[in-house]
């Protein structure tokens, strides 16, 4: 069966199952009708996760409650992407105060980690995949501590209730989706360690087929312990002990994480980066992700251009977005890292007049080639790591008008490939620079004990002039996340596209290298023109996973799910 048919069949099955819900898998049907009456909405990467969130919202839970249920179910049904063995960033919009809070659940390096963690004996960097698979790349997980922090402040329904949908599904089983099957079938490393090998493959070694029922009693037990005894059950005691043991004993590539590192993990509240763009205010996540700052720089640079005058898939739009993005990435690669360890000149990087000067470097007709960072720097730039097929983003608006925008990740697809008690452990430490210094200068994002690796995750919330919620959006996609999100903010704000139409646009971006165009889309027709302007092009598959919820000026909710993945938008009335 061609993949499109599999997707359609899968969507039809899901649709039948969810007959009582409003749902649209990456395309709008009965949209106007639904939007008119809905008071809450959720967009997430898997129908069962979205449904768990929808049930919580329908029962009177709020966006934070729903987020917990969604994350717990994603751990089960989208194990390749995110989970309690990984980290996340969450932006929260409070309808009462109109404030935006940033919650940091990023993994931390073991306290004994040193800058040479990913160097071989001869002082050269390890091969990327040699670093990923095994214990070395595993950071102390942050997801549950982050949700605990957010729930303590904003949760309405009891903590234990929010794990029940995931526990039930883990015991009863869920169907392997086409995407999960494809990823299992093509993964070169998932058979490395017995727990994941036994879970994801059949006795004869073949990958679980599409539609196979997958049960996960171990995860159900883990979640039950967390439901009953709180996040402590994960961070202190037997579960943490098992994680540390697995990491330290990982055959071929042991790591340094200890039970004390896990017990000492702290989620943090940080100040969201909120900057004006046109008549809106765009709020993003501060370091240790580079997402919020880099998206803000791209928009700040584009503010100098009349983007409205260019069609979304025109050569001019691609050129300007690519050039702005190139400039922003030059600064990102040089300066951004965990601000608890490194001084990052955030204010200077986001200063309006600085961004105007950066914008003045853009010629409408000629690509500038490699951009240089715009501020004096003591540090060396960090080369980019490959983008994975992992990570997940979900957006939620509840009946009170609160909103949540969460990007959550175990880094590469299936993370470190190490599975403990039913969940996969992240490989997030490979988001550090493998080289501690370049040309004798330190790299800001070098490994240090207790530090958080630089991320690109860019959960975003947009507010209008009155401070009212307008849009929650984000995406997976490694460092391309930044471009995926920035392009959609321009689409939503300058091109006035609805959430789904914005997500459906072709992806195009530039990470201070080649201009990347999404294969088989409308923008590739400009290849010749863009080359004439001096762009080096790469035309490739760009699997974003954008999920958005928006509120229109007349108060209706509107959702968008990325057709490149398996996500859906669900909604309802409360
Ligand atoms: N680990 C990446 C980050 O934090 C996300 C990986 C992905 O989206 O593929 O930026």
Whether 304 has a binding-site annotation, put simply, is no
pLDDT at 29 over 50: no
Ligand 1 pocket, residues with Cβ under 6 angstroms: 387-388, 390-391, 409, 411, 428, 431, 455-457, 476-478, 481
pLDDT (0 to 100) of residue 35:
52
pLDDT at 461 over 70: yes
pLDDT (0 to 100) of residue 377:
83
Q: Whose CA is nearest to atom 1 of ligand 1?
A: 411
pLDDT at 5 over 90: no
pLDDT at 530 over 50: yes
User: What distance in angstroms lies between residue 34's CA and the mean position of ligand 1's atoms?
Assistant: 33
CA-wise closest residue to 390 among 75, 165, 102: 75
pLDDT (0 to 100) of residue 381:
82
Averaged pLDDT of the chain: 93
pLDDT (0 to 100) of residue 397:
98
Q: Whose CA is nearest to atom 4 of ligand 1?
A: 455
Instruction: Report the residue among 457, 459, 475, 565 best suited for mutation to probe ligand 1: largest number of ligand atoms under 8 A from its CB.
Output: 457
Question: Token pair for residue 260?
Answer: 């004390």
Specify the pTM: 0.94
Average pLDDT over residues 350-373: 97
User: What distance in angstroms lies between residue 293's CA and the mean position of ligand 1's atoms?
Assistant: 16
pLDDT (0 to 100) of residue 376:
86
Q: Give the chain's count of helices (H) and strands (E).
A: 20, 23
Instruction: Report the residue among 107, 143, 431, 485 best suited for mutation to probe ligand 1: largest number of ligand atoms under 8 A from its CB.
Output: 431
Of all residues in the chain, the percent with pLDDT exceeding 90 is 91
State pLDDT tens for residues 380-439: 887 676 676 789 999 999 999 999 999 999 999 999 999 999 999 999 999 999 999 999
Question: Token pair for residue 169?
Answer: 């599904």
State pLDDT tens for residues 270-299: 999 999 999 999 999 999 999 999 999 999
Question: Token pair for residue 100?
Answer: 């935006």
Nearest ligand 1 atom, CA 388: 9
pLDDT (0 to 100) of residue 380:
85
Whether 111 has a binding-site annotation, put simply, is no
pLDDT at 16 over 60: no
pLDDT at 15 over 50: no
Q: Do residues 292 and 458 touch, judged by C-beta distance below 8 A?
A: yes
Nearest ligand 1 atom, CA 413: 9
Whether 456 has a binding-site annotation, put simply, is yes
User: What distance in angstroms lies between residue 195's CA and the mean position of ligand 1's atoms?
Assistant: 24
pLDDT at 130 over 70: yes
pLDDT (0 to 100) of residue 429:
98
Q: Do residues 350 and 296 touch, judged by C-beta distance below 8 A?
A: yes
User: What distance in angstroms lies between residue 177's CA and the mean position of ligand 1's atoms?
Assistant: 22
From residue 236, how far is each of 145, 240, 263, 416 by CA, in Å?
12, 6, 5, 22
Return the DSSP state at 349. H
Beta strands in 271-352 (DSSP E): 273-277, 280-284
User: What distance in angstroms lies between residue 85's CA and the mean position of ligand 1's atoms?
Assistant: 14
Residue 378 banded pLDDT, cuts 50, 70, 90 = confident
User: What distance in angstroms lies between residue 407's CA and the mean position of ligand 1's atoms?
Assistant: 9
Characterize 438-470 residue by residue with b for buried, 16 or more Cβ atoms within 10 angstroms of its Cβ, and e for exposed. eeeebbbbbbbbbbbbbbbbbbbbbbeeeeebb
Question: Token pair for residue 424?
Answer: 């996969």
Residue 3 banded pLDDT, cuts 50, 70, 90 = very low
User: Is the torsion defined by CA of 31, 36, 38, 44 positive or negative?
Assistant: positive
pLDDT (0 to 100) of residue 365:
95
Average pLDDT over residues 91-112: 98
Report how far residue 303's alpha carbon sits from residue 355's, in angstroms, rounded to the nearest whole number: 9
> How many of the other CB atoms lie within 10 Å of CB of 17?
14
Given the residues 391, 407, 408, 515, the one annotated as active site: 391
Active site residue 391: yes
Report how far residue 310's alpha carbon sits from residue 452's, in angstroms, rounded to the nearest whole number: 39
CA-wise closest residue to 483 among 455, 448, 509, 515: 509
Q: Whose CA is nearest to atom 5 of ligand 1?
A: 478
Q: Whose CA is nearest to atom 3 of ligand 1?
A: 455
Residue 120 banded pLDDT, cuts 50, 70, 90 = very high
Average pLDDT over residues 505-533: 98
């Amino acid at each position: 069966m061609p993949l499109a048919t599999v997707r359609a069949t899968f969507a039809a099955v899901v649709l039948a199952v969810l007959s009582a819900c409003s749902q649209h898998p990456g395309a709008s049907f009965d949209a106007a009708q639904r939007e008119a009456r809905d008071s809450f909405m959720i967009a997430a990467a898997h129908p069962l996760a979205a449904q768990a969130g929808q049930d919580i919202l329908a029962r009177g839970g709020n966006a934070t409650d729903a987020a917990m249920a969604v994350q717990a179910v994603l751990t089960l049904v989208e194990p390749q992407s995110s989970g309690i063995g990984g980290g996340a960033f969450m932006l929260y919009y409070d309808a009462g105060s109109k404030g935006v809070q940033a919650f940091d659940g990023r993994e931390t390096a073991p306290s004994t980690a040193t800058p040479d963690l990913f160097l071989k004996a001869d002082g050269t960097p390890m091969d990327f995949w040699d670093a990923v698979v095994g214990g070395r790349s595993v950071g102390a997980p942050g997801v549950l501590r982050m949700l605990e922090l957010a729930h303590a402040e904003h949760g309405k329904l009891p903590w234990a209730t929010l794990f029940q949908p995931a526990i039930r599904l883990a015991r009863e089983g869920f169907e392997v989706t086409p995407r999960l099957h494809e990823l299992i079938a093509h993964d070169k490393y998932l058979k490395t360690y017995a727990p994941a090998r036994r879970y994801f493959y059949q006795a004869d070694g073949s990958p679980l087929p599409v539609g196979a029922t997958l049960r996960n009693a171990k995860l159900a037990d883990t979640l039950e312990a967390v439901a009953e005894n709180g996040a402590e059950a994960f961070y202190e005691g037997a579960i943490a002990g098992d994680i540390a043991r697995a990491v330290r004993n990982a055959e071929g590539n042991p790591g340094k994480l200890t039970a004390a590192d896990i017990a000492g993990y702290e989620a943090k509240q940080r100040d969201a980066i909120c900057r004006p763009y046109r008549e809106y205010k765009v709020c993003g996540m501060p370091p240790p992700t580079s997402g919020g700052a880099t998206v803000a720089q791209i928009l700040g640079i584009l503010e100098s251009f009349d983007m409205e005058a260019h069609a979304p898939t025109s050569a001019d739009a691609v050129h300007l977005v690519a050039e702005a993005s190139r400039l922003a990435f030059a600064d990102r690669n040089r300066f951004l890292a965990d601000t608890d360890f490194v001084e990052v000149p955030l204010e200077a990087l986001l200063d309006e007049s600085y961004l105007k000067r950066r914008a003045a470097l853009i010629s409408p007709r000629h690509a500038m080639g490699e951009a240089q960072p715009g501020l004096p720097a003591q540090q060396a730039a960090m080369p980019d790591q490959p983008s994975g097929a992992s990570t997940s983003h979900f957006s939620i608006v509840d009946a009170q008008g609160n909103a949540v925008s969460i990007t959550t990740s175990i880094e590469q697809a299936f993370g470190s490939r190490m599975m403990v008690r039913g969940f996969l452990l992240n490989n997030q430490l490979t988001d550090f620079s493998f080289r501690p210094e370049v040309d004798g200068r330190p790299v800001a994002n070098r490994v240090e004990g207790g530090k958080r690796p630089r991320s690109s995750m860019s959960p975003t919330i947009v507010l209008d002039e009155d401070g009212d919620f307008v849009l929650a959006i984000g995406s997976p996609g490694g460092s391309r996340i930044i471009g995926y999100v920035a392009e959609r903010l321009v689409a939503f704000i300058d091109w006035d596209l609805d959430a789904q139409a914005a997500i459906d646009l072709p992806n195009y971006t530039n990470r201070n290298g080649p201009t990347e165009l999404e294969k088989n889309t409308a923008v590739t027709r400009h290849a010749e023109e863009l080359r004439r302007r001096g762009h080096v092009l790469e035309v490739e598959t760009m699997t974003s996973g954008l999920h958005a919820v928006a509120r229109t000026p007349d108060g209706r909710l509107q959702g968008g799910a990325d057709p490149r993945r398996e996500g859906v938008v669900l909604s309802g009335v409360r």
